[in-house]
Amino acid sequence: MPRLRGARRRRHFCVPELAEGHEPFRLYDEGDELYDDMLHSIARARGAIRLESYIFAPDEIGWRFAEALARRGDEGLRVRVLMDAAGSLFWHSRRLARYLRAHGVRVRWFHRWNWRRPHRYNHRDHRKLLTIDEDHFYLGGFNIHRECSRAVYGEQRWRDTHVRLDSELTAVANRMFDRFWKGRKRWVVKGPPRPNVLLPNHNGRCRHALQCLYMEIFRHARHHIYLTTPYFVPDHRTQQALMDAARRGVDVRLLVPAKSDVTLTRWAAQAAYGGLLRNGVRIFEYQPRVLHAKTAVADGAWATLGTANLDYRSFFMNYELNLVSRDPALCQGLEAYFERDLAESVEITVGRWARRPWSRHFLEMIGWLARRWL
């Protein structure tokens, strides 16, 4: 797969150029393992801890993190926590925030409700990032809440994906957090090509950087594209790029949840099924649990995982952060996750989809009309 040089095709956006190589990483698909490692990292931090989470719930999991962060705050470490106001609204996290502040932790709410600027509330910080000193960082789809813990939530815990990267890229993650903390929402680091880069969806050159990245990947793929997303509400450009890839012989497989925590979003996704299926895109619905992972792999040579869904909100409204990689081992690991999940999924065929009840058409129409607000 060729290196991506989007700037030579588009005046307004530069897709990062990636070098081949390998950096130490660990993938997670179980919340308990991830949370244990994150807490261990917090306990061993020497100077600074930065935590950014869309949901930081005051439940069994959230309070474990709050107590761990408070201990480090009491010990004099520089601990900062950034929580999204809308994401944590229904979890009543204000008591947790007060507790953290009482122990020396700096806490900020992203885009709290303001009657003078109500539109800001709909632009959310959907990022999930933990950095430890200049040593390593965690990034992915896991929020901090009980729904992702088998020990607390049981066998129906959510299926998600996260990564820990032990890399010089941690310094970049720290700077991105610091600029975002200060309100510089479109700041991005420039540097030489490397196996892994961090890409936000808003930067100084492009308001929809992640969408542009996906378009480049879909156009360059030659063999296969494996996509996993919990909220699939694609704009017409994304749909067209997927169909174009399938029509030129690329094996395009889309994995979405059969069980969703947002029913309206599932209806909106199904409104796009017909055209995709007729043009060769294969769609699979994951059966066992709520699927919340956001990953993509193309040709075993390129991968991304992080916080962005394939939907309007992630592409055009929220603030997101993805790891983009040409690390062969990381690509292989994500493909293994995809193939395992595919074994627990049901394929939606053209014939089966054509036989769905007429009542479903009405629900799909409702979901599609609401797609920009989901």
Query: Is 1 a domain residue?
Result: no
Residues of the chain with pLDDT under 50: 1-13
Helix (H, G, I), strand (E, B) or coil at 1: coil
Closest by alpha carbon to 197, among 170, 178, 177, 215?
170
Same domain, 263 and 341: yes
Same domain, 144 and 262: no
Tokens of 157: 């815990």
Query: Is 9 a domain residue?
Result: no
Same domain, 84 and 131: yes
Same domain, 172 and 237: no
CA 155 to chain centre: 23
Tell me the residue type at 241. A
DSSP strands (E only) in the chain: 25-28, 48-53, 78-84, 106-110, 129-132, 136-140, 162-166, 196-200, 224-228, 251-257, 282-286, 295-298, 302-306, 321-325, 345-348
Q: Which residue has the tokens 């992630």?
A: 314
Domain boundary among 164, 181, 198: 181
Same domain, 174 and 255: no
Structural domain boundaries, residue 36: 25-181
For residue 11, the model assigns a pLDDT of 38
Exposed/middle/buried for residue 211 (C-beta within 10 Å: 0-12, 13-18, 19+): buried
CA-to-CA distance for 73 and 108, rounded, in angstroms?
15
For residue 351, the model assigns a pLDDT of 84
Tokens of 222: 């030659």
pLDDT for 92-132, tens place per residue? 678 899 999 999 999 999 866 555 665 665 678 899 999 99
Same domain, 363 and 233: yes
**Total of domains in the chain:** 2
Query: Is 157 a domain residue?
Result: yes
Q: What is the CATH number of the domain that holds 229?
A: 3.30.870.10
Same domain, 224 and 170: no
* pTM of the predicted model as reported, rounded to 2 decimal places: 0.91
Same domain, 321 and 211: yes
Same domain, 31 and 97: yes
For residue 188, the model assigns a pLDDT of 64
Query: Is 200 a domain residue?
Result: no
For residue 10, the model assigns a pLDDT of 42
For residue 2, the model assigns a pLDDT of 42
Query: Is 266 a domain residue?
Result: yes
Query: Is 164 a domain residue?
Result: yes
Query: Is 95 a domain residue?
Result: yes
Query: Is 304 a domain residue?
Result: yes
CA-to-CA distance for 73 and 102, rounded, in angstroms?
9
Same domain, 116 and 63: yes
Same domain, 174 and 262: no
Cβ contacts of 359 within 8 Å, gap of 6 or more: none
Same domain, 159 and 266: no
